[in-house]
Amino acid sequence: MQVDIRTKLLIVAIFSVLALVYQDPRILGIILLLNLLTVTLFRISFNIFRGFKKFIYMYAMLMIIQSFFVKSGEPLIKLGNTYLLTTGGIFYGISIILRFLILVGSGLILVDCNTSELLLALVKLRIPYEIVFMIQMGIRFIPVFINELQNIFSGIQLRGVDLRKVYKRKVLRVYISIFSPLIYSVWLKAEKLSILLELRGFRKFPTRTYYRDISLKKLDYVVISLSLIVTVVLVYVLRGL
């Protein structure tokens, strides 16, 4: 289904707000199902969710940590006076996991979007071009930052240093010593970029034109209306839960 990027942004906003407003895992479960259905309608692959298997221990820890702090519900595992696992903890743990999955699922809706279209959509939503440009640069710098980090770690290993075998306290020292030059190098890149922008006349004139244009079509109006109706119905139906 090909819709305008603003339609997608609205859907993402709806899912994100719903995920943050509701706490009940049953409701969040329903929202997640709708989210996955939307992702399917947009024909986007679910492959990213496979990676979450790695975090299974983190999820389990989340439930245990929640049990420590959330004293509601029945205790399931108790050590002296300390609750190790409570039904309340499980409840909140599951809520956090579901919220996380909804937010990731919402992000997936935008995965196949063209960056320049996304930025044009933001401009059309009356967001100042300077801010939009900053977002564009932010998106552009994520892979640069990841690449720099990968190069540094490869560089360390190729100098024969195995961080896994280094004593943990020292590893922290290595990470700290790596991050300051890394941030400095990214800052230097940003500075060079700003000079290049000035040289190319960035913000020389108050307005700018765009080669590409985007416009809402019939399908967008249908999808936007449907999304709003479903949201209102959902909020109405779920108010009793």
Partner 1 sequence: MAFISLQGVSYTYSGRKEPAVRNISLNFGQVEKIAITGLNGSGKSTLAKLILGLLKPQNGEIILDGRPVGKYSLVEVGEKLGYVLQNPSQMMFNTSVYNEIAFGLKWRGKSKNEVHHLCKRYLDLFDLWDLRGELPFNLSEGQKQLVALSAVLALQPRYLILDEPTKSIDTFRKKKLKDILQEIWRQGTGIMVISHDIEFVAGFNGRRIHMAQGEVVEDAGRYKD
Which residues are at the interface with partner 1 (CB under 8 A)? 148, 151-152, 154-162, 166, 177-178, 180-182, 184-185, 188
SS3 79: strand
In the complex, minimum distance from the CB of residue 176 to partner 1, in angstroms, rounded to a whole number = 10
The two three-digit tokens of residue 40, written as one number: 């399917």
Q: Which is nearer to partner 1, 163 or 233 (CB)?
A: 163
In the complex, minimum distance from the CB of residue 137 to partner 1, in angstroms, rounded to a whole number = 20
In the complex, minimum distance from the CB of residue 161 to partner 1, in angstroms, rounded to a whole number = 4
- 71 CB-side CA count, 13 A: 2
Other CB atoms within 10 Å distance of the CB of residue 229: 10
Q: Which is nearer to partner 1, 128 or 155 (CB)?
A: 155
Please state, in angstroms and rounded to a whole number, the distance separating the CA atoms of residues 75 and 80.
12
Q: Which is nearer to partner 1, 110 or 152 (CB)?
A: 152
User: Do the Cβ atoms of 117 and 110 come closer than 8 Å?
Assistant: no
| Nearest C-alpha neighbor of 113 from the set 220, 226, 7, 33 | 7
In the complex, minimum distance from the CB of residue 148 to partner 1, in angstroms, rounded to a whole number = 7
Amino acid 85 reads: L
Q: Which is nearer to partner 1, 124 or 189 (CB)?
A: 189
